[in-house]
Amino acid sequence: MSVFHYYVVAAILFSIGAGGFLLRRNILVMFMSVELMLNAANLCLVAASSSFDLARGSSFALVSIAVAAAEVGVGLAIIIAWFRLRPSVDAGDLQELRG
């Protein structure tokens, strides 16, 4: 198993995430898809890191996990604010701003 196998798995995970983001209309599912994409990147970082025998990539992955958690916190706060104004989780309802 070379490091490229890991890259391929990461690329597949990333594509599933990107596809989910673009095709699904439920905002929570779209948000989860982004998390999947971030995890694909983390997998890639850790795999590369161990292939070079460097700690650099793994520590990058740790940083990115922390950042992703912060992003989810803020994201859910905004989703709740949105839900209070308009009880819907359909991305199609985001259409007041147009033009």
**Residues found near another protein in the complex (CB under 8 A):** 3, 7, 10, 14, 17-18, 21, 27, 30-31, 34, 37-38, 40-42, 44-45, 47-49, 51-52, 54, 56-57, 59-60, 63-64, 67, 70-71, 74-75, 77-79, 81-82, 84-86, 91, 94, 96-99
- Work out how close the CB of 84 gets to another protein at its nearest, in angstroms, rounded to a whole number: 8
> Please, which residue, 1 or 37, has the CB nearer to another protein?
37
Nearest approach, Cβ of residue 88 and another protein (Å):
11
Whether 40 contacts 14, CB under 8 Å: yes
The helix/strand/coil state of 31 is helix
User: At which residue do the structure tokens 């916190």 appear?
Assistant: 73
Provide the sign of the torsion angle of the four alpha carbons 44, 1, 8, 10, taken in this order. negative
Q: What phi and psi, each to the nearest 5 degrees, are found at residue 96? A: -70, -35
